Chain A
Amino acid sequence: DSGVTQTPKHLITATGQRVTLRCSPRSGDLSVYWYQQSLDQGLQFLIQYYNGEERAKGNILERFSAQQFPDLHSELNLSSLELGDSALYFCASSARDRGGEKLFFGSGTQLSVL
């Protein structure tokens, strides 16, 4: 158990709809990262938040948005969903040691857009 909690585990919806994915980082971790894993693709970095502020942005579509709340949990909002948005969405929080920064991933939310 990584200590990162993601809900829901599975989500089935229709094209054009809007969904919200939720993530609670490990206790004490201030950063939250969102990644997307599509079929035959590696993990694509979407966005990072640190203590409520957006820190870095990756390949995130304009239809997608995220936020981090004062209690440090984060939500990823996906709107106007398309078939191609079907993927596994991972949230991660990070810890830094002498070797650098390491990500701790949740078990993911499997999104199916029908």
Chain B
Amino acid sequence: DQQVKQNSPSLSVQEGRISILNCDYTNSMFDYFLWYKKYPAEGPTFLISISSIKDKNEDGRFTVFLNKSAKHLSLHIVPSQPGDSAVYFCAASALGGSQGNLIFGKGTKLSVKP
């Protein structure tokens, strides 16, 4: 049973517009959430994280929103750029992020068109 779900395998957005990537989780013990970005032939790289004590975290063009009651988080990219085209993985962990064995979703492939 998947504990972290990314229901959209792909997303296509025009350059300059907003990209919204969604993630749902089932385990109420999760209290730390991260987004990783992966380019082809490279390993995933950390993008942004959020603790369950917050409902929003912003870093430049990237903002992550957490809705604990709905067990849902989303990543907003504004404005989207062609270089943002990659696979985005949502990940979660329990125990205040002290475990590195993150549970990952299957990823969403974002394509930003010029």
A contacts, CB < 8 Å to B: 2, 4, 31, 33, 35, 40-45, 48, 56, 58, 90, 92, 94, 96, 99-108
Binary interface encoding of chain B residues 97-114 relative to chain A, with 1 for a CB under 8 A from any of its CBs, else 0? 111111111110000000
A99 and B3 CA atoms in complex are apart in Å by 22
B contacts, CB < 8 Å to A: 4, 6, 32, 34, 36, 41-46, 49, 51, 89, 91, 93, 96-107
Are the C-beta atoms of B42 and A107 separated by less than 8 Å?
yes
User: Chain B residue with minimal CB distance to A103?
Assistant: B100
Are the C-beta atoms of B43 and A108 separated by less than 8 Å?
yes
Are the C-beta atoms of B104 and A48 separated by less than 8 Å?
no
Given contacts A90-B44, A92-B43, contact A103 B102 (CB under 8 A): yes
A92 and B103 CA atoms in complex are apart in Å by 14
A7 and B46 CA atoms in complex are apart in Å by 21
* Nearest CB of B to A108, in Å: 6
A45 and B44 CA atoms in complex are apart in Å by 14
Given contacts A40-B106, A102-B34, contact A94 B43 (CB under 8 A): no
* Nearest CB of A to B39, in Å: 10
A58 and B32 CA atoms in complex are apart in Å by 18
* Nearest CB of A to B8, in Å: 13
